[in-house]
Amino acid sequence: MLETRCLPLSIANMFWKFDLHTTSHIDTLLEKEDVTLTEVMDEDDVLQECKAQNHKLVDFLLRPQCMEDLVTFITQEPDTDVEEKVKYKYPNISCELLTSDVGQINDRLGEDEKLLMKLYSFLQNEPPLNPLLASFSPRCCPFS
Please write down the HEC assignment for all residues of 119-137. Answer: HHHHCCCCCCCCHHHHHHH
Mean pLDDT in residue range 136-144: 64
pLDDT at 11 over 70: no
**DSSP tag of 85:** I
> Quick one: pLDDT at residue 94?
96
In contact, 106 and 142? CB cutoff 8 Å: yes
Q: What is the DSSP string of 7-69?
A: --HHHHHHHHHTT-S---HHHHHHTSTT--HHHHHTSTTHHHHHHTT-HHHHHHHTSHHHHHH
**Which residues does 45 contact at the CB level (< 8 Å), separation at least 6?**
24, 25, 26
| Residue-level length of the chain | 144
Confidence of residue 144 (pLDDT cuts 50, 70, 90): very low
Looking at per-residue confidence, does 138 or 102 come out higher?
Answer: 102
Could you report the per-residue pLDDT of 30-82, keeping only the tens digit for each? 999 999 999 999 999 999 999 999 999 999 999 999 999 999 999 988 888 88
More confident residue, 22 or 40: 40
pLDDT in tens, 113-134: 999 999 888 877 777 877 777 7
Is the pLDDT at 2 greater than 80? The verdict is no
Rg over alpha carbons for the chain, rounded to the nearest Å, is 19
Q: What does the pLDDT average to over 87-102?
A: 94
